[in-house]
């Protein structure tokens, strides 16, 4: 059984940085997508960033975070990261780690949360102006 747990959220000022971590257990050696989603109050959950777990590459980002966020993973620690720089108030949301997702031609996808089979409880990120 795969379990994931997020950490690293907090309250920061606009322009500051945070790094989220997603610690996973029960993962296999297969290749699949791992990603981050977020949900702000009154809004739908949206994909933020994802990558291919085996290679750590082929990352994808939603347009609003390109150039500011970086997704990475440490295979030895079974941990997925999301480095968030130059945070903006619009980034305020609950951030969720999504594990064991479908790859399409070796690439992850952010458009459908149903692609991912396991979810963490979320970690809150609040950015004030």
Share of the chain above pLDDT 70, in %: 100
Q: Determine the pLDDT at residue 6.
A: 98
What backbone phi and psi angles, to 5 degrees, belong to 14?
-55, 140
Does residue 119 have a pLDDT over 90? yes
Check residue 55 and give its pLDDT: 83
Measured at the CA of 64, the angle between CA 37 and CA 38, to 5 degrees, comes to: 15
Note the pLDDT tens digit of each residue in 18-65. 999 999 999 988 899 999 999 999 999 999 999 999 888 789 999 999
């Amino acid at each position: 059984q795969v379990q994931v747990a997020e950490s690293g959220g907090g309250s920061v000022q606009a322009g500051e940085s945070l790094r989220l971590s997603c610690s996973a257990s029960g993962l296999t050696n297969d290749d699949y997508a791992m990603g981050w989603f977020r949900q702000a109050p009154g809004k739908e959950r949206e994909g933020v960033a994802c990558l291919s777990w085996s290679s750590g590459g082929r990352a994808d980002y939603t347009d609003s975070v390109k150039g500011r966020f970086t997704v990475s993973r440490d295979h030895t620690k079974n941990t997925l990261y999301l480095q968030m720089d130059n945070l903006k108030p619009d980034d305020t949301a609950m951030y969720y780690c999504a594990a064991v997702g479908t790859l399409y031609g070796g690439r992850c996808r952010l458009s459908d949360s149903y692609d991912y089979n396991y979810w963490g409880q979320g970690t809150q990120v609040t950015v004030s102006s």
